[in-house]
Amino acid sequence: MGSILTKRAMIISLSLLLLLFFVPLANTVYAQNPGVSAQAAVLMDQDSGRVLFGKNEHEKMRIASITKIMTAVLAIESGKMDEMVKVSERAVYTEGSSIYLKQGERILLEDLVYGLMLRSGNDAAVAIAEHVGGSLDGFVFLMNQKATEIGMRDTYFSNPHGLDDHEKHFSTAYDMALLTKYAMNNGKYRKIAGTKTHKAPQEGEKWGRVWKNKNKLLRMYEYSTGGKTGFTKRAKRTLVSTAEKEGMGLIAVTLNDGDDWQDHINLFEWGFETYDLVPIVEKGTIEGLEGEIYKDSVETVRSFLYPLTEKEKSQVKNEITLIPPPKEGEWKNKLPSPIGKLTIHVADQTIGTMPLFIEGTHRNFEQKTFWETMKNVVKKFFVITVPYG
């Protein structure tokens, strides 16, 4: 029974390795924190997803217009950014903040996304939803589908703008940071979210529209790179913002925060002062391994960077697990891909896992299907574990 459980555990562990390829694991042990006035808040490292600070970060709350980050993401990913959108009556008469669209006018989807993010246009949100999703309901389905894909476990969307017109419309500070982490991997999103001013032509008029970003941090804070504001009477002030300094990107989210501008600056300053982005594993050949098949031949195909405090830098330990050659000799031309994994620990916590490859076999790994790789590797995964680093 014990061997069966061990084998099952091995298969589950390797499945995660192969599916995710690189797995940063959440760490919720915080250094001394800065404190914020928000009801809920989180500060997350943009690359690794490590939570550097949290306050009620998993509490489900109303989120107001930071909902529009998801709306922007879906619009950008739709492949329709260069299409013209015909504005409906429903979009024009959406209540709240507006970019003053006119019924029947045609406007570029990309310009609508700028109006959505910079001026928080609720009319823009509905126009985007109808064009990308075919209908509001169709778009809301896409929003929740994408939330599940990203891992937003405590989120449910009922509209594309965040107005308080549905009781079942909520998220958490943590989930919104996850969404922003995902969004910031898209160059178009980064550009739009960090734009201070955008000009868009207006059909039927000699003058165009000029939109200035409501996110004051782009002007207040030198390291600010973007974000999204939000407010409704029930949600109060919500804010997502991003900042980057010396190669380290941070994401701050606050919900129901009357002093959000200053709180975000304080969070960023504390994060940059407390943590350094450390290259724990460098891309390339792993040195110091013994055995003819492994020596100067095992490699990582990407680097592993992680935010660490000064104390944590001395607590890093790497562990390498390798598949040994078969008893009858070498693998000849059938080298396993991957050949093993590198597990990274800080103190008693595992913070990440990376696959290892014999040089030249990484391409084979990419071309195989997941289950083909699983079948070949699990059979041979009787491990050699080597402390490293």
Which residue, among 381, 388, 335, has the nearest Cα to 14 in the 3D structure? Answer: 381
Q: Do 259 and 202 belong to one domain?
A: yes
Query: Catalytic amino acids?
Result: 65, 68, 120
Q: CA 142, CA 279: separation in Å to the nearest integer?
A: 36
Q: Do 112 and 260 belong to one domain?
A: yes
Per-residue model confidence (pLDDT) at position 360: 79
In the chain, where does DSSP find H-type helix? 2-20, 68-77, 89-92, 109-119, 122-133, 136-150, 173-183, 187-193, 217-220, 260-274, 310-313, 362-367, 370-378
Residue 250 in any domain: the answer is yes
**C-beta separation of 201 from 126 below 8 A:** no
Instruction: Please identify which residue in the block is written with the tokens 């994408």.
Output: 146
Residues 6+ apart with CB under 8 A from 167: none
Whether residue 30 has pLDDT greater than 90: no
Q: Do 100 and 177 belong to one domain?
A: yes
Whether residue 168 has pLDDT greater than 80: yes
Per-residue model confidence (pLDDT) at position 190: 98
Per-residue model confidence (pLDDT) at position 290: 84
Domain residue limits at 266: 40-271
Q: What is the pLDDT of residues 142-162, one digit of tens each?
A: 999 999 999 999 999 999 999
- CATH code of the domain in which 170 resides: 3.40.710.10
Per-residue model confidence (pLDDT) at position 12: 35
Tokens in use for 63?
């989120």
| Count of structural domains within the chain | 2
Q: Do 241 and 96 belong to one domain?
A: yes
Which residue, 226, 243, 271, sits at the end of a domain? 271
Q: CA 186, CA 188: separation in Å to the nearest integer?
A: 6
Q: Do 147 and 9 belong to one domain?
A: no
Q: CA 361, CA 323: separation in Å to the nearest integer?
A: 14
pLDDT band at 93 (very low <50, low <70, confident <90, very high): very high
Q: Do 255 and 303 belong to one domain?
A: no
Average of per-residue pLDDT values in the chain: 87
Q: What is the pLDDT of residues 191-213, one digit of tens each?
A: 999 999 999 999 988 899 999 99
Q: Do 91 and 226 belong to one domain?
A: yes
- The end-to-end CA distance of the chain, in Å, is 35
Q: What percent of the chain has pLDDT over 90?
A: 75
- CATH code of the domain in which 6 resides: 2.30.140.30
Which of 123-132, 292-301, 377-386 is the least confident region? 377-386
Which of 178-182, 332-336, 383-387 is the least confident region? 383-387
Which residue, among 286, 230, 283, has the nearest Cα to 254 in the 3D structure? Answer: 230
- Write the burial class of residue 60 (CB in 10 Å: 0-12 exposed, 13-18 middle, 19+ buried): middle
Q: CA 300, CA 173: separation in Å to the nearest integer?
A: 33
Residue 146, number of CB atoms within 10 A of its CB: 17
Query: Span 3-32, mean pLDDT?
Result: 40
Q: Which is it for the CA torsion 177, 215, 305, 366, positive or negative? A: positive
Q: What is the pLDDT of residues 340-372, one digit of tens each?
A: 999 999 998 999 999 999 887 776 555 444 334
Residue 33 in any domain: the answer is no
Establish whether the linkage from the previous residue to 338 is cis, with ω within 30° of 0: yes
Q: Do 136 and 258 belong to one domain?
A: yes
Per-residue model confidence (pLDDT) at position 333: 67
Instruction: Please identify which residue in the block is written with the tokens 């260069």.
Output: 82
Residue 55 in any domain: the answer is yes
Please give the C-alpha separations between residue 72 and each of 182, 190, 322, in angstroms, as whole numbers.
12, 11, 43
Chain centroid offset of residue 195 CA? 20
Q: Do 118 and 186 belong to one domain?
A: yes
Per-residue model confidence (pLDDT) at position 329: 66
Per-residue model confidence (pLDDT) at position 309: 96
Q: Read off the amino acid at residue 158.
A: S
Q: CA 251, CA 268: separation in Å to the nearest integer?
A: 8
Please give the C-alpha separations between residue 146 and each of 9, 153, 187, in angstroms, as whole numbers.
29, 11, 18
Query: Span 227-254, mean pLDDT?
Result: 98
| pLDDT higher at 298 or 33 | 298
| pLDDT higher at 290 or 346 | 346
Strand 248-255 relative to strand 209-212: parallel, antiparallel, unpaired?
unpaired
